[in-house]
C-alpha cells in the first residue's frame, strides 16, 4: 500500500484489506469501536434494532380480533333440571350442528322452594350472534321484562302454531320471544340473534320428562344435521 493510500484512510481506522471473495474489510480502532457501541448513540441504535425486530414479528404473526368463547357441556345442568326442578323443564333438541353452547347456569336449586328456580343456556348461532334460553318459575310479570330488557311487547310470532310475544330493545340490540306456560313457568329466547334464529331455538324446545331423570344425559347437546 502506498503512502497516498494510507493518507486517505479515515482517522482511527486501519488500512482497507480485501477479504476472500473480493469484499473490502475495514478495521476500526478500539476507540472508534467504543464510540459506536457505547453511549447514547450506541444505545439508540440498539433500541432501534430491537424495535425493528419486534415490529417484524408483530407484522408476520397471525392475529384475530374475534373473541372465541369456549364450548360448554350442559349435560349436568340438564340432568339437574329434569331431576330437581319443581316444574317440567324445557331443553333444545334437534338444533342444527352450528348452534354452539357457550354458557349454562342454574340458580335457586336446593332452596326448598324459597327461591325461584332458573336455568340460563346460551348459544352462538350460525349467524355468529348470541341467543339464550331463559326459563324460570319466577313470577312472569317480573321475570319476563328482566330477561327481555323490555316491558313493552312489539307483536307476536307464531312458532310451531304457538304464539310467542315479541320484544325489542334497540339500545341493547336485543330481540326476544317469550311465552308463559299454564303452570306459570316462563320461557324466553333472547339475544342479538334475529327473530328468525330465535324462532329456531324456540321451536327446538321440548319438555324433559322426569321419568328420564335417572338417565345420564348426553355429554354434548342433541343436534340435528
Task: Give residue 33's pLDDT.
Answer: 62
Cα(222)–Cα(225) distance, integer angstroms: 10
The model's pTM is 0.67
Residue 46 belongs to what H/E stretch? helix 39-60
Chain centre distance of CA 63: 15
| Residue recorded with cell 349467524 | 127
Cα(93)–Cα(185) distance, integer angstroms: 19
**Structural contact between residues 118 and 184, judged by C-beta atoms closer than 8 angstroms:** no
Cα(187)–Cα(192) distance, integer angstroms: 17
H-state helical runs in 140-213: 140-148, 195-204
| DSSP letter string, 67-116 | --PPP---HHHHHHHHHH-SS--EEE-SB-TT-EEEEEEEESTTSTTSS-
Spans of the chain below 50 pLDDT: 2-9, 12-16, 213, 215-223, 225
- The 10s digit of each residue's pLDDT in 11-50 is 544 444 555 555 666 665 776 666 656 666 666 767 777 7
- The 10s digit of each residue's pLDDT in 100-124 is 999 999 999 988 878 999 999 999 9
Question: In percent, how much of the chain has pLDDT > 70?
Answer: 71
| Residue recorded with cell 475495514 | 26
Cα(35)–Cα(41) distance, integer angstroms: 8
Amino acid at each position: 500500500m502506498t503512502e497516498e493510500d494510507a493518507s486517505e484512510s479515515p482517522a482511527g481506522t486501519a488500512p482497507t484489506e480485501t477479504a476472500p471473495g473480493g469484499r473490502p474489510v475495514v478495521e476500526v480502532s478500539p476507540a472508534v469501536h467504543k464510540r459506536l457501541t457505547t453511549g447514547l448513540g450506541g444505545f439508540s441504535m440498539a433500541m432501534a434494532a430491537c424495535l425493528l425486530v419486534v415490529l417484524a414479528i408483530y407484522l408476520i404473526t397471525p392475529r384475530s380480533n374475534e373473541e372465541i368463547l369456549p364450548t360448554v357441556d350442559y349435560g349436568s345442568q340438564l340432568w339437574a333440571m329434569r331431576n330437581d326442578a319443581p316444574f317440567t323443564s324445557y331443553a333444545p333438541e334437534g338444533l342444527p350442528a352450528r348452534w354452539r353452547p357457550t354458557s349454562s347456569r342454574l340458580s335457586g336449586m336446593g332452596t326448598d322452594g324459597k327461591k325461584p328456580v332458573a336455568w340460563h343456556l346460551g348459544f352462538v348461532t350460525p349467524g355468529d350472534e348470541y341467543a339464550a334460553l331463559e326459563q324460570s318459575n319466577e313470577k312472569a310479570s317480573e321475570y319476563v321484562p328482566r330477561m327481555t330488557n323490555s316491558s313493552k311487547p312489539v307483536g307476536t310470532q307464531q312458532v310451531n302454531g304457538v304464539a310467542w310475544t315479541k320484544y325489542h330493545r334497540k339500545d341493547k340490540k336485543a330481540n326476544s320471544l317469550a311465552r308463559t306456560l299454564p303452570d306459570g313457568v316462563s320461557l324466553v329466547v333472547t339475544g342479538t340473534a334475529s327473530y328468525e334464529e330465535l324462532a329456531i331455538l324456540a321451536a327446538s324446545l321440548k319438555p324433559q320428562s322426569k321419568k328420564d331423570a335417572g338417565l345420564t344425559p348426553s355429554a354434548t347437546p342433541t343436534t340435528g344435521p
